[in-house]
Amino acid sequence: MLSDQSVLNSYDVIVIGSGISGLTIALIMAKEGKKVALFERDRDIAPLIRPYRRKGCEFSPGLHIVGWMDQGEVIASFLNYLQIDDGVETKLYHNGFGNVIIGAQKYMIPRGFDSFEAKLHSYFPECHQAVKEYIKAVKEINERSFLLNHQLDIAKDTDLQFNVLEKFSLKEFLECHQASAEMIEMLGTFNNVLIGSTAEEVPFDTHAFVLGGYYQSSGAFTINGINRLLLNFKRELTNYGVDLFLNSEVAEILVDNERKVTGVKIANGNSYLAPLIITSFNPKLLMEKLAPNVLRPIFKRRLIEADNTFGLYTAFYKIDSDEELEIGNLAYYNSNTNVTLGATINKYDNDNIISVFIAENELEIPNDIEERRWRAGQRLSLLEQTIYDVFPFLRGKLVLLDYLKPWSFERFTKTVNGSAYGIKQTTKSVGFQNRVPVRGLYLVGQAIFPGFLGSLVSSFKMALELLAPDDFWLKVKRR
């Protein structure tokens, strides 16, 4: 039982975690007339993408390259409804994403489906039918979902439905159409760098949902753009009366004897009541936040068995050069060394900042401090050697600004083992649903749909379940 002294306030909705999905669902619910509280364990919102300074430069720990970044597309539509798009600086990659490199083979990812299809034909001339069927299927999956294609009317079923393709992995789909091993490896590498699952693992529909946007219109939020986006979120949360609790870790989600949520208790012992709790953290953490008998054994087993995506070692460098360097975004894989690497360029003032990550293939973070130091040093050496192999002209021109390890991400952002993209999307575990088998408890975030767009989509999909869907979606489409 809760004492009167411990209960400070009651709300219609409590949101736990202020990443993009948490911020989005909190603002949606407040805009639609709900009394909302948002709890964040860190000192400020969005710790995973919030820019910070080192050695006179500013950069974001999140590598936020995004698809569907052109005017009038789904990202713009969502930000416009939220009223947070003003002054947000973005950069559209007019020449496309950049390159996927497999060993010594380089594949360019141009802008637009037609251009990308032509490139695939040139790279894999023996796979004409596979390329044709692949592009056709990716386009269809994106075009027939009203959550992505806002020219469509709302569907009666608010789930993304991809029908017969859902049971296929990317590899299985391509093999059905006689794609070569090289084509499968290239597309699988691109998928793995962007959402953390391989061609053998990722459901084809999930692959199409994420990568379709990158093919059509890749872009990025600049550092100034991320800062402005977060400031705009704060402004609108204040305007709509959301109570934002920073430095407030939720220690327990409170549930009554009928398996229905009643509120939350934070680490200092204070409690806040609400009949609806929405969490944006990794679902595996639910077992820490709920009493042992709350979750049913079958759901617990699903949480335990779900895999996380890889952890990250991420290095940020200033490029010490006055020359114009031709460096695009990069997704890289070397099967001989089993190295998966991603890189992107951002600007801060007049400086070019290159952010490079290397995937951690070990599943668990070591507890021993000396082993951590050894592993961090070994991974940094491997990361630098790989980037110099790919871009030899950068040797001697990189100034290390900061180096984050998986345990850095785990400590500051509460990601399990520093996981890059949360729960791994596989054909055996195709993401969790918004609903949890506890009344009034819901999930949003990358556990449902991966990536920045996935975080937004999961929140808008959640709102369709909780609000009058036709009225709400009309507002989204109208703005």
The CATH number linked to 25 is 3.50.50.60
pLDDT score at 359: 94
- Among 190, 213, 236, identify where a domain stops: 213
Would strands 90-92 and 98-102 be described as parallel, antiparallel, or unpaired?
unpaired
Residue 104, domain member (yes or no): no
Report the C-alpha gap between 432 and 258 in whole angstroms: 23
Q: Digits of tens for pLDDT over the chain (479 positions)?
A: 344 556 678 999 999 999 999 999 999 999 999 999 999 999 999 998 999 999 999 989 886 789 999 998 999 999 999 999 999 999 999 999 999 999 889 999 999 999 999 999 999 999 999 999 999 999 999 998 889 988 888 875 444 444 444 578 999 999 999 999 999 999 999 999 999 999 999 999 999 999 999 999 999 999 999 999 999 999 999 999 999 999 999 999 999 999 999 999 999 999 999 999 999 999 999 999 999 999 999 999 999 998 889 999 999 999 988 776 677 899 999 988 899 999 998 877 788 899 999 999 887 788 899 999 999 999 999 999 999 999 999 999 999 999 999 999 888 777 778 888 888 888 887 668 889 999 999 999 988 888 899 999 999 999 999 999 999 999 998 76
9 and 71 belong to one structural domain: yes
Is there a contact between 74 and 51 (Cβ–Cβ < 8 Å)? no
Residue 153, domain member (yes or no): yes
Residue 106, domain member (yes or no): no
- Among 192, 213, 234, identify where a domain stops: 213
Residue 100, domain member (yes or no): no
Contacts of 360 (CB under 8 A, 6+ apart): 310, 311, 312, 313, 379, 406, 418
Residue 99, domain member (yes or no): no
42 and 21 belong to one structural domain: yes
pLDDT score at 365: 83
Residue 107, domain member (yes or no): no
Q: What is the tally of structural domains in the chain?
A: 3
181 and 281 belong to one structural domain: no
131 and 179 belong to one structural domain: yes
233 and 275 belong to one structural domain: yes
429 and 302 belong to one structural domain: yes
338 and 296 belong to one structural domain: no
301 and 434 belong to one structural domain: yes
Would strands 271-273 and 277-279 be described as parallel, antiparallel, or unpaired?
unpaired
Single-letter code of the amino acid located at 425: Q
336 and 291 belong to one structural domain: no
119 and 201 belong to one structural domain: yes
Residue 88 main-chain phi, psi, to 5 deg: -80, 115
Residue 74, domain member (yes or no): yes
Single-letter code of the amino acid located at 120: L
78 and 226 belong to one structural domain: yes
What residue numbers bound the domain in which 337 lies? 310-418
pLDDT score at 2: 46
Residue 73, domain member (yes or no): yes
327 and 193 belong to one structural domain: no
pLDDT score at 162: 45
Q: How many C-beta atoms surround the C-beta of residue 4 within 10 A? A: 5
- Among 191, 213, 235, identify where a domain stops: 213
